[in-house]
Amino acid sequence: MSAATESPGSETRSILAPTGNRVRVGEEQRMKRDMLSKNSVEKPKRVTSQTLPKRSGGAAVAVVLSNVSADSSSDSSSSCGGSTVKSVGSKRRIVKNSNGFVKPAKIVPNGVEALALSPMVPGPVKRCDWITPNSEPLYTSFHDEEWGVPVHDDKKLFELLVLSQALAELTWLAILSKRETFRKLFDEFDPSSVAKFDEKKLLSMKMNGNTLLSEPKLRAIVENAKQLLKIQQEFGSFSNYCWRFVNHKPLKNGFRYSRQVPAKTPKSELISKDLMRRGFCCVGPTIVYSFMQVAGLVNDHLTTCFRYDECSTDVKKNSTPRLEKTEVTRKAETMICTVNESKTP
């Protein structure tokens, strides 16, 4: 029997035999499996900017794969796609990206609460649009401390009414800059004192050149002081008279833009008609609405202004009107006291 011959280059054929130097099937298959398993294990490819996918802007997207255990406390740094990666404790954060797509990192050590790298810095206070960064400090203080604050003092209300009347000839800034002069001219805006101004007093004011208003306006102020005293006798105070038109509670319009704020309203027209019926002069609807705004009868601060809510808070503190005794009430109390004394043994 002739032996098997192999041609050059031919593969070895597995032969099932109990003896000899032939390769067994089981061992050959095991060797092949080992070879395949070794070949299948490949080293991970290094990620570079050339292998990363491109965005629409052409910038490489940094992909960071972290397999660090949660208990690790080692610090390390590496580079990936133009980004510097810093690992602190068990967490990695992208600190810097040359392409500008990564936000500033927050480095969070283990057990430490994160703190922002750039804390929020409060911006400038938001005011009504008619106050600008270039506004005079006096005008800004007037907006922040006085305009829109509810007023219940009769002298103060008379002052604000006079200043509102002066708006027909002057601006608020001009009025505020000469406010002390106004107070000296009108005896600290005491209605009882201004009501006593006679023709001689008016002429002296005009001759000395101290007047800031025209002669008709001065005469109107004196006449209004006389009518204000009558209102005090009828309603107890000028404050009670004014606040009853708004039910002793300021109106809140809630405007967002200055262009929405009106020059007059139906309420100001109603008050204007009633004042003129009582003998007041130079109290048109526009002047009355300016008086309502500055005296706090209406809150016309814009909703974006920080004073909008603050004036609403001031309302709760000053919502109770001050009642002053009228002449009739005083006489009635005197009569009651006299009767009680006569009954006393």
Q: How confident is the model at residue 328 (pLDDT cuts 50, 70, 90)?
A: very low
Residue 324 contacts residue 237 (beta carbons within 8 Å): yes
137: amino acid identity, one letter: P
Q: How far apart are CA 288 and CA 160, in angstroms?
A: 10
Q: Which CATH topology does 137-333 take?
A: Endonuclease III; domain 1 (1.10.340)
CA distance 129 to 174: 19
Binding site annotation covers 337? Answer: no
Residue 259 carries which DSSP code?
G
pLDDT for the residue numbered 203 = 83
With a pLDDT cut of 70, the percent of the chain lying above it is 55
Of 271, 230, 240, 220, residue with least CA distance to 154: 240
Domains of the chain by residue range? 63-113, 137-333
Between CA 44 and CA 46 the distance in angstroms is 6
305 assigned ligand-binding residue? yes
Residue closest to 297 by CA, chosen among 94, 149, 101, 85: 149
Contact 300, 147 (CB under 8 A): no
Answer yes or no: is pLDDT of 162 > 50: yes
Nearest to 214 by CA among 160, 173, 168: 168
Mind listing the pLDDT tens digit for each residue in 39-97?
555 555 555 545 545 544 444 444 344 444 444 444 444 444 444 444 444 444 544 55
pTM for the predicted model, two decimal places: 0.58
Residue 299: its H or E element:
strand 298-299
248 belongs to an annotated ligand binding site: no
Residue 128 annotated as binding site? yes
pLDDT at position 165 over 90: yes
* Structure confidence at residue 127 (pLDDT): 93
Pick the residue with more confidence: 223 or 78? 223
Q: Which amino acid is at 63?
A: V
Q: What is the pLDDT of residues 230-265, one digit of tens each?
A: 999 999 999 999 999 999 999 999 899 999 999 999
Most confident of 47-51, 169-173, 270-274, 328-332: 270-274
The span from the CA of 242 to the CA of 157, in Å, is 9
Q: What is the pLDDT of residue 175?
A: 94
